[in-house]
Structure 1
Amino acid sequence: MRIALNARILQAPRTGIGQYLIELIAALDADPSLELEFFHGWGWSRQLPPAALPGYSRWVAWAKQVPGAYRIRRLLEQRRFERGLRHTAVDLYHEPSLWPLDFPGPMLMTLHDLTHVHYPQTQPADRLAEIARCVEPALERARVILTDSQFVADELQRHYGVARERLKVAPLGYAQRFHPRPLADLGRVTAPLGVRPGSYLLCVGTLEPRKNLALALRAYALLPEAVRRRYPLLIAGMAGWRRDDFAAELQAALASGQVRLLGYLDDERLAELLAGARMLLFPSLYEGFGLPVLEAMASGVPVLLSPSSALPEVAGTAGTYVEAGDPEGWCRAILRLIEDQAEWQARRVAGLEQAQGFSWKRCAGITAAAYRQALEH
């Protein structure tokens, strides 16, 4: 079975969907019945690019200023896609995001979330217009639609009327680099940041309103001064759309010296930094899965999170849940996970156990079954 996979997202620095694609492809490679062909936006290959496209961030900045940039890019990609298909016979096309290219044969897509529906204000207008133009026809064309969680599958049924039999839930997994590590081994990554392993709090995610970073900042500011001095708050993630919505709070927090903005981190550095955190703070308002939550649990790090969207499917009973609009409750929960070692250890063990239910092997197995279902349609 020869599968065409759109890997254009790997031009960008590898966050959620990029990590999904990298890990899924690695797991699918173990299936001898599958042969994968990758479309990279400019051409075809059987190899994945080793890193993001140089200058990608400059293209994004340019696209913000040029009307119709997303449409123009898609038209060019469609032509290159079709040109490659003349020389590459494939049985099925898998699109790992919202907007598949036109394909003359059976198509399967992965829809990770409905952010464009619930938080359209977090999307640039051009991109949102292209999503609106493409997503409903794509959902009609797709023989099977994969989702990361039952939550998103249920949303697709309610919002778009997608029949249940066309939906397959394929929960994500975690990479092998996410595992418990001795704190003594983590000084290399923490020392340049001026923090000690086990003595900092961590937020991971793109800096945008949906991630609700403002709540983490407010809760952190309510902690006693002595606690903040002992446990700095580190924030790892790229700048996203509408970061200005909480810029004032962020700047005030950074000025204190107790909050540090790290920007985008490479895979291994992030894994090491996560393993050394006292806890992960994940106050997101909306997630189709919440990969950092799973990665933290697999690393032996307790997670404090909001009980929203798909997050309870991932964290189960291992998570410490506080409502997303309750900074005082978040402050109390942070203090408990700092001061109560027995509770911290219980959350750590529960998280490690919960993480064992997720793997990229399982995700790939469900995906391969979905390929066969799409071809038998």
Structure 2
Amino acid sequence: MLKALKDSGAEIWLLTDFEPRLEKSVYKNLPKRACDLIYAARVMEGLMEGHNWLHSPYWETKLSKWQALARLHKKWLRLLEILDWLAHRNYATDAMVKVNLLEQFDSPYFRQEKLSYFGNLDGILCARYLYLNASRRALARRPSSLPIKLGNEFDGLITTCPINIRVEGKGCLVQTVHDLIPLEYVQTSDHVANFGQRLNSCLPARKLYVSQATRKKFEQAYGSANDAGGIVILQPPSLKFPAKEHRGLLEQKVLRPSLRTKNHHGELVPFRYLLFNSSVEPRKNLLFAVKAFRISGLAEHGIRLCVTGMLKKDSYSREVAKQADESVLLTGYIDEATKSNLFLHAMAVISPSLVEGFGIPVLDGACIGAPVIASPSVAHREIQASQDFRELIWLCDTLDPTTWAEAMGQIAKAEMARIGDPQAERQRRLSRYDTVSAAILEDFRRKICEQVKPDQLSK
């Protein structure tokens, strides 16, 4: 989204609720520029770690030696957060604090992979408790959306998931709708009432749907009253590869992803493993995939199943760990570079999800030219029907694991016969990915511009 808007000439600011508080008594003698530098660092640390900088691993490590002090530290922080929220529960979003990233061009945070998207940003807007207040309003007895005042500086606000907000005054609001899964499938972690109200707040906004299936479900569930309409966009694939001159390091005889689990059998031979890349939860249907893999007998031929999702502390993840033998590699969390490398060298990609709003792993696999076995969800059918993906994506019913086992066996046999030179196959996949992903990204950029209106993209 950020790249598409930036390539179209937009000035882009990121709205976040990471807003640190600098004690005036501590920093009162420092120059304003120095305080601004400290403030920006605290905001970027929050975005880097996913929580307030006081809760960062650095401070947790410092306090770990004194467990009693650590517990007291956490209790006091929690109490201060509650009191602070009570004082700012009606926080005025027109008082947002600005961090101009052009002034932070040499910040160390710009050189970390997790914040690589900063390259497409002009600045950050900080509004403390923005999302908490929006969620509180969604769960109120009489739900209402949180008003955001953009002022004259901004032409519009685009979300990448439904948020319970509305834009007051000048400026358009574009909400992205991925799915309705918490409403239609019980075994999810989302709060159903909150999620339902967040979707309800999308009605008066322009919308970006990730699939026709999601659009149809949304219109069926919420009707057309006060609906501002929207468009369906095929989002770009997510894999990231080095520039062409630096791709020599991708030529490996053995892959050794860093493991976050107790499964230490971490070697993978290129083009001799099936890849499952997703979160580990019931709707992703990983246990079904493990069962089908064991039925297929591919492990006897040295072919493995690589699972990159992070195991949780629940009964489903415990059962996955129990069923996984040495032929199943559980990597846990992996970074983007490792993920891309695993897709590049996978014999095939599998996605047996019971329900999806879209299906990024299926798109990633097809774009790179790897065979994909996927469940016959409507979203997966849409991906199969686009580009030249029909020959690459196999849609198999998830009612019988033997069907998947047979598909795994057929693909493995065909790929072992087809891939004679691993280097040639690697080059073929990289070249294909460059071409297909560029075409999808350009179509994505064009549709984004149509929805936001080209005359509003730049000042």
TM-score scaled to structure 2, two decimals?
0.62
Structure 1 runs of 4+ with >3 Å offset: 43-53, 55-59, 72-78, 85-88, 162-165, 178-184, 186-192, 226-229, 341-345, 352-358
Residue 290 of structure 1, CA deviation: 0.8
Residues 297 and 355 in structure 1, CA contact (< 8 A), matched pair in contact too: no
Cα distance in 1 for partners of 2:11, 2:342 equals 36
Q: Contact 1:223/1:335 (CA < 8 Å) preserved in 2?
A: yes
What's the secondary structure of 2:446's corresponding residue?
helix
Query: In structure 2, how many angstroms separate the alpha carbons of the residues matched to 1:278 and 1:215?
Result: 19
**Aligned-residue CA RMSD (Å):** 4.1
Shift of 1:146: 0.7
Provide the C-alpha distance between the structure 2 equivalents of 1:93 and 1:283, rounded to a whole number of angstroms.
35
Which region of structure 1 is more displaced relative to structure 2, 48-57 or 278-287?
Answer: 48-57
Amino acid at match of 2:323: A
1:201 has 2:284 as partner: no
Q: 1:239 to 1:246 in 2, by over 3 A?
A: closer
Asked if 1:167 corresponds to 2:230, the answer is: yes
Q: Is 2:216 the counterpart of 1:154?
A: yes
Greater RCO, CA 8 A, separation 6+: 1
1:109 aligns with 2:175: yes
SS at match of 1:93: strand
Which of these residues, 341, 366, 370, is aligned with residue 447 of structure 2? Answer: 366
- The aligned amino acid for 1:253 is Q
SS in 2 for 1:260: strand
1:184–1:356 distance in 2 versus 1, CA, 3 Å = closer
The alignment-based identity, stated in percent, is 21
Residue aligned with 1:202, SS: strand
Deviation at 1:91, TM superposition (A): 1.9
Equivalent runs, 1:1-377 vs 2, <5 Å:
24-32=1-9, 34-43=10-19, 53-54=48-49, 56=51, 79=91, 81-84=93-96, 89-105=153-169, 106-124=172-190, 127-136=191-200, 138-142=201-205, 144-162=206-224, 166-175=229-238, 177=240, 185-187=251-253, 189-190=255-256, 193-224=266-297, 227-228=299-300, 230-239=302-311, 243-245=314-316, 247-248=318-319, 250-254=320-324, 256-316=325-385, 317=390, 318-341=392-415, 355=436, 359-372=440-453
**Counterpart Cα distance in 1 of 2:87 and 2:414:** 57
What residue identity is the alignment partner of 2:198? Answer: C
Kept in 2: contact 1:284–1:306 (CA 8 A): yes
For residues 310 and 74 of structure 1, the distance between their equivalents in structure 2, rounded to whole angstroms, comes to 42
Change (3 A) 1:30 1:285: same
CA gap 1:222/1:110 in 2 versus in 1, 3 angstroms: same
Task: For residue 177 of structure 1, report the CA deviation from its aligned partner.
Answer: 2.4
Alpha-carbon displacement from aligned partner over 1:240-260 (angstroms, at most 9, x marks no partner): 6x8523532x12333x21112
Q: Which amino acid aligns with 1:31?
A: S
Question: Which letter does structure 2 place at the counterpart of 1:158?
Answer: Q
Note closer, same or farther for the CA distance 1:361–1:278 as it changes in structure 2 (3 Å cut): same
**Which has more radius of gyration?**
2
Whole-Å Cα distance in 2 between the matches of residues 222 and 342 of structure 1?
A: 19
Return the alpha-carbon distance in structure 2 between the equivalents of residues 74 and 203 of structure 1.
44
Tell me how far 1:128 sits from its aligned partner: 2.6
Output the CA distance in 1 between the equivalents of 2:315 and 2:240.
33
Note closer, same or farther for the CA distance 1:147–1:299 as it changes in structure 2 (3 Å cut).
same
Residue 139 to residue 149, structure 1, CA distance change in 2 (3 Å): same
Deviates more, 1:93-102 or 1:35-44: 35-44
Q: 1:74 to 1:245 in 2, by over 3 A?
A: farther
CA gap of 1:273–1:308, structure 2 versus 1, over 3 A, is same
Residues 335/272 of structure 1: CA separation in 2 closer, same or farther (3 Å cut)? same
CA distance in 2, matches of 1:54, 1:374: 36
Change in CA separation of 1:308 and 1:100 when aligned onto 2, cut-off 3 Å = same
2:248 and 2:272 mapped to 1: Cα distance?
14
Distance 1:183 1:231, change over 3 A: farther
- Once the two structures are TM-superposed, the CA of residue 343 in structure 1 deviates from its matched residue by 8.8
Moved more, 316-325 or 195-204: 316-325
Q: Could you tell me how far 1:297 is from its partner in structure 2?
A: 1.8
Q: Is the 8 A contact 1:172 1:359 kept in 2?
A: yes
What amino acid is the match of 1:294? L
SS for the counterpart of 2:453 is helix
TM superposition shift of 1:104: 0.8
Distance 1:162 1:326, change over 3 A: farther
What is the CA deviation profile of residues 110-133 of structure 1, one whole-angstrom value per residue up to 9, with x for unaligned ones? Answer: 001111211243124xx3332233
Check the 8 A contact 1:190/1:196 in 2, yes or no.
Answer: no
SS of 2:378's equivalent in the other structure is coil
- Letter paired with 2:49: P
5+ residue gaps, structure 1: 1-23
